[in-house]
Chains A and B, each alone.
Chain A
Amino acid sequence: MGIELSAESAQVMVAFALYLVGVAALGVFAHRYMTRGSFVKEYFLGNRGLGPWVLALTVAATAISGGSFMGFPSFVYSKGWVMALWICSYMVVPLTGMVWLGKRINQVARISGSVTVPDVFRDRFQSPALGILASVLILIFLCFNLVVQFKAGGVVMQEAIRLPPADAIYRGAEVDPEHILVLAFETPEGKTLKPQKTPLPTRKAEFLPERTKVDGTNREVRVSFRHDGKITEKKVRFPPQRVAIPWLDEGPEKGYLIGLLIFALTVVAYTTYGGFWAVTWTDVLEGLVMLVGVVVMAILALRAVEPITSGGKELTGLAAATERLRQQDPQLVYGPGPEGVSPPIGHGYLPLGMAFSFFLMWSFGGAGQPSGMVRLMSFKDTPSFRRALVLIGVYYFLAYVSLLIIFICARAIFPTEYLREIGSEGNPDSIMPAMARHLAHPLVAGLLLAAPYAAIMSTVAAFLLMISSSLVRDLYQRTINPNASPKTLKRVSYLTTALVGVVVMLGAINPPGFLQYVIVFTGSGQTCAFLFPMVCTLYWRRATRQGIWAGMLGGGLTVMLLYVLGWIDTAYQKAGATGPAWLSWFPGWGEKREEAFAPLYAGGCDPLIWGLLASLILTVVVSLRTKPDPESVRKYFP
């Protein structure tokens, strides 16, 4: 199949390709480097040899995922300054994420020779079953997460490639009852294509069919509306090129599929080939690309905001952006922020309970996710650890403040263009690539686009490695075949990493929407399952195997339950029913939700809060009612 590219896209792709070549070179270098010590420990843990810079950048690159670069920007763009409060617990994440567990988990892992997080649980309590439970929970949450991260990777590539729309013939348009203009198209062979939809500029706007112009060379239709006596014109692109897939009714967009393939191939190839060191070295590169990318973008964005006069003073830069936001909608500069899309949901975007939930989400999530814990098991000595802490403190401050500034400016520059409810150029999720293209020369834009791509790539690589380490180390080496030779282990490791990557890619061909919800779901699920059990495992002599079992299972299941109840409730609401009476007493049942994937917010709080509570109470109570094994207490508590 032929691929047509515009000159601008070609330049973006060149910059992107240069970046990928750098990544590949690092993968090869890492593979060469991987010669010392035991294969499994080297492949999954880098032989506990991380120095300060590498440790800092790898922790940062793993934590900053597709969510930070795609989801968070779209929220800042559509909700305004209140998002600063939403994200602000990153001010303590370097401390909570590293200091709470860091030294002690490294020490315990050295005493037992643990390589993975399930290893730590299994060895500390002499319980293979506990190790398997931990592995299974990690597998469930990470697989969900990976599909969405792959999707984000594919979307960024799609934006970089920007294929022109399909060759089609325009067959007229009409307004549907929901005030959305539906444009019909068919292929040159006469086959009907999926219609393109665009919301009317306002509810009272009138569509003017006689003024519609079709531009066959640029493959777009220009439609006109009249509202408040004014006539506005809007461009609607022809339907995207699609690829037929036998088992799907409607194939995915060609641009997305190409993007996904490029993404999956690069990530899977280098993760499989280089293991922990490849992931770590590319993390270093990616961590730097991300930081430089957002800081440069923030400076460009501040200069791109047009000055504005307010109260007799001329405002420029951030002040001008904030003033423009205030004029658009005062709620953008105050809490709790604008409501979700219609129908109104009732309490503003970030009521106090949710602000509290998100403060805990990021600050505890940094400590509670196994992908972060495993990084803490790998540092070399405490001076490296302390210096890494300093670097991460500076890193998060620069990265998140820059992101906030960029997308506050984005809202001032594009007041409505990327808002879903008014709809035109695109939806809020593409604000990041759009800003990159708006602010810089295509070559620089390519490098800026590499920042979110890097973020997604490093998270995916780390998770991919977590999953295959769970399968190889926790299930294969320690349960199925304890006497496997190093050569067999090597083969099984490569094979599993590659296989998991391919399976996830197939899942991402037709992925779910709701990027941010899935990321929050898997993050909070893991935090609830692992944070308190791990804290007790490391610091509490009285912790018992049964207590950890109960806390892990209870925390994880509470989060899952609240999400599942949310989906059930939303499904009932869609069908216009209230659901069974025995469920309606549940706090949060029957409330309106913005998306179908949203959970039940019992008591106005995120499921995270309830999961953490359940996990803490169960771990402590069950531990106190059972007896610890004196042998392991002596071994791990000197």
Chain B
Amino acid sequence: MADPDAPRRLFRHAKREALVVVIVWALALVWSLGYCYLRGYRPADDPGNDLTLILGFPDWIFYGIMLPWVACSLFTIWFGLYGMSDDDLGAEKDEEGHGHGH
């Protein structure tokens, strides 16, 4: 028999995980936009002679985008492998007479 608490547990887990993602999303937004705006935006007539490269990327792209991107990807991998819980999704509602639960 299915666990009667399973649906409630899934709802609680889903809410918690969505909240974690909101926090990661907000951090990424502040980091990327903030860093790039402060360090990478120049007036149109700036000659740009002091451009520093890191692995071929302009430094502001490296710190403002590549680094958080790598960080987010690592977090995503961790979250998918260990951070999220497994839940019972529930049985399929029988519709046309050929029900099949999971």
Instruction: Find out whether the CB atom of B81 lies under 8 angstroms from the CB atom of A386.
Output: yes
- Tell yes or no: A262 within 8 A of B by CB: no
- Tell yes or no: B1 within 8 A of A by CB: no
Instruction: Report how far A359 CA is from B81 CA in the complex, Å.
Output: 26
Partner of A91 from the list B20, B36, B68, B98 (CB cut-off 8 Å) is B68
**Per-residue interface assignment for chain A, residues 321 to 341, with 1 indicating a CB less than 8 Å from any chain B CB and 0 otherwise:** 111001000110111100100
Q: Is the interface of B mostly helix, strand, loop or mixed?
A: helix
Instruction: Report how far A104 CA is from B12 CA in the complex, Å.
Output: 10
Instruction: Report how far A360 CA is from B13 CA in the complex, Å.
Output: 25
Partner of B42 from the list A40, A330, A386, A394 (CB cut-off 8 Å) is A330
**Per-residue interface assignment for chain A, residues 32 to 71, with 1 indicating a CB less than 8 Å from any chain B CB and 0 otherwise:** 0000111011000001100000000000000000000000
Instruction: Report how far A396 CA is from B77 CA in the complex, Å.
Output: 12
Instruction: Report how far A316 CA is from B14 CA in the complex, Å.
Output: 47
Instruction: Find out whether the CB atom of A333 lies under 8 angstroms from the CB atom of B21.
Output: no
Question: Which A residues lie within 8 Å of B92 (CB)?
Answer: 48, 110, 113
Instruction: Find out whether the CB atom of A37 lies under 8 angstroms from the CB atom of B89.
Output: no
Instruction: Report how far A111 CA is from B102 CA in the complex, Å.
Output: 12
- Tell yes or no: A95 within 8 A of B by CB: yes
Partner of B33 from the list A319, A352, A486 (CB cut-off 8 Å) is A352
Q: How far is the CB of A313 from chain B (nearest CB, A)?
A: 10
Partner of A111 from the list B28, B44, B60, B90 (CB cut-off 8 Å) is B90
Q: How large is the interface on B (under 10, 10 to 19, 20 to 34, 35 or more residues)?
A: 35 or more
- Tell yes or no: A363 within 8 A of B by CB: yes
**Per-residue interface assignment for chain A, residues 90 to 109, with 1 indicating a CB less than 8 Å from any chain B CB and 0 otherwise:** 01101110011011101100
Partner-contacting stretch, out of A148-156, A185-193, A275-283, A375-383: A375-383
**Per-residue interface assignment for chain B, residues 74 to 96, with 1 indicating a CB less than 8 Å from any chain A CB and 0 otherwise:** 01110111001111011111111
Question: Which B residues lie within 8 Å of A397 (CB)?
Answer: 69-70, 73
**Per-residue interface assignment for chain B, residues 19 to 45, with 1 indicating a CB less than 8 Å from any chain A CB and 0 otherwise:** 011001100110011001100111010
Partner of B93 from the list A94, A112, A319 (CB cut-off 8 Å) is A112
Instruction: Find out whether the CB atom of B24 lies under 8 angstroms from the CB atom of A92.
Output: yes
Q: How far is the CB of B75 from chain A (nearest CB, A)?
A: 8
Instruction: Find out whether the CB atom of A107 lies under 8 angstroms from the CB atom of B68.
Output: no
Instruction: Find out whether the CB atom of B7 lies under 8 angstroms from the CB atom of A638.
Output: yes
Instruction: Report how far A388 CA is from B81 CA in the complex, Å.
Output: 10
Instruction: Find out whether the CB atom of A359 lies under 8 angstroms from the CB atom of B29.
Output: yes
Contacts A107-B10, A334-B40, A397-B73 given; indicate if A99 touches B33 (C-beta within 8 A).
no
Some 9 contacts from A to B, beta carbons below 8 A apart, are A84-B65, A95-B24, A99-B21, A107-B14, A107-B89, A113-B92, A334-B40, A363-B25, A386-B81
Beyond known contacts A37-B100, A319-B53, A352-B41: 20 more, CB 8 A cutoff? A38-B95, A89-B28, A91-B68, A95-B25, A99-B17, A99-B20, A102-B14, A103-B87, A112-B93, A113-B92, A318-B55, A322-B53, A334-B41, A336-B41, A380-B102, A389-B76, A390-B76, A393-B77, A396-B73, A539-B15
Task: Please provide the 8 A-B residue pairs with the shortest distance between their CB atoms, ordered closest to farther.
Answer: A318-B56, A330-B48, A393-B76, A113-B93, A390-B80, A389-B80, A638-B7, A319-B56
